[in-house]
């Protein structure tokens, strides 16, 4: 399977608490719910298509706990995400959880990179990381992540936990798809291509077209 990060971020890189003012108030964060005003049908359609590619969901403990609490309560048959979220195999990286409370959950113990590599080696399409920025960064630094999907809002918060904080290894990405929705969300899809390239500027004559 490919390991894929899907993340909601602001223009200044914040990923904390996108869904509501009470979703994640850790470290005194009081600006949650910044993603919701920009939801539109174009985004819902694309996000539904992404979720259809998943053969498993991967979480850190904190995100898993909130998802396992909230998603089983979503029973609307017209919800485009609920049936898939609740039925897909879930993997949670944790050395403190004994068992998972959400159906089809496997707890991955020990070193996160080793544990996720073992799941990644299984047959399938995508093992998707939703939220779980710390876990995603650990796996990105270790070269385990294959693809990154960012959904960026036209918002600058000035506080909150970042999706890609330092330190993280210098990682190169190649943009493979981009689009903007009517509400102003920018959807960016990248392939991870290895170490980030660097060079010295010596003019525009020899730039690639």
The per-residue pLDDT for 166 is: 77
Four-point Cα dihedral 64, 24, 141, 139, nearest 10: 10
The per-residue pLDDT for 24 is: 85
Q: What is the pTM (predicted TM-score) of this model? A: 0.92
Q: Measured between alpha carbons, how far is 102 from 177 in angstroms, rounded to an integer?
A: 33
The per-residue pLDDT for 57 is: 98
Q: Measured between alpha carbons, how far is 126 from 3 in angstroms, rounded to an integer?
A: 6
Phi and psi at residue 72, to the nearest 5°: -60, -20
Instruction: Tell me if the bond preceding 167 is cis, omega within 30° of 0.
Output: yes
148-161 mean pLDDT: 96
pLDDT above 80: residue 209? no
Q: How far is CA 166 from CA 87, 137, 170, 172, in A?
A: 35, 9, 10, 15
Q: How far is CA 24 from CA 8, 33, 38, in A?
A: 14, 10, 19
**pLDDT digit string, tens, across residues 171-187:** 999 999 999 999 999 99
Q: How far is CA 45 from CA 32, 34, 41, 180, in A?
A: 24, 20, 6, 13
The per-residue pLDDT for 4 is: 98
Where helices occur in 61-203 by DSSP H, the ranges are: 61-70, 82-87, 112-120, 133-141
Which of 171, 165, 109 lies closest to 141, judged by CA? Answer: 171
Which of 39, 25, 102 lies closest to 71, judged by CA? Answer: 102
| pLDDT interval class at 202 (50, 70, 90) | confident
What is the three-class DSSP state of 197? coil
pLDDT above 70: residue 161? yes
């Amino acid at each position: 399977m490919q390991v894929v990060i899907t993340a909601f971020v602001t223009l200044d890189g914040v990923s904390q608490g996108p869904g509501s003012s009470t979703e994640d108030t850790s470290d005194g964060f009081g600006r949650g719910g910044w993603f919701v005003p920009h939801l539109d049908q174009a985004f819902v359609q694309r996000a539904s298509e992404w979720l259809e590619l998943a053969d498993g969901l991967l979480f850190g403990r904190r995100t898993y706990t909130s998802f396992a609490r909230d998603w089983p309560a979503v029973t609307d048959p017209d919800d485009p995400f609920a049936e898939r979220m609740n039925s897909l195999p879930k993997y949670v990286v944790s050395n403190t959880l004994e068992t998972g409370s959400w159906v089809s959950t496997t707890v991955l113990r020990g070193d996160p990179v080793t544990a996720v590599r073992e799941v990644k080696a299984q047959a399938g399409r995508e093992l998707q990381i939703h939220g779980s920025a710390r876990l995603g960064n650990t796996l990105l630094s270790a070269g385990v992540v294959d693809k990154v999907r960012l959904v960026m809002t036209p918002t600058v918060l000035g506080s909150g936990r970042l999706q890609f904080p330092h330190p993280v290894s210098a990682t190169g990405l190649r943009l493979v798809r981009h689009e903007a929705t009517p509400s102003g969300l920018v959807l960016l899809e990248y392939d991870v291509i290895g170490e980030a390239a660097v060079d010295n500027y010596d003019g525009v004559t020899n730039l690639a077209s």
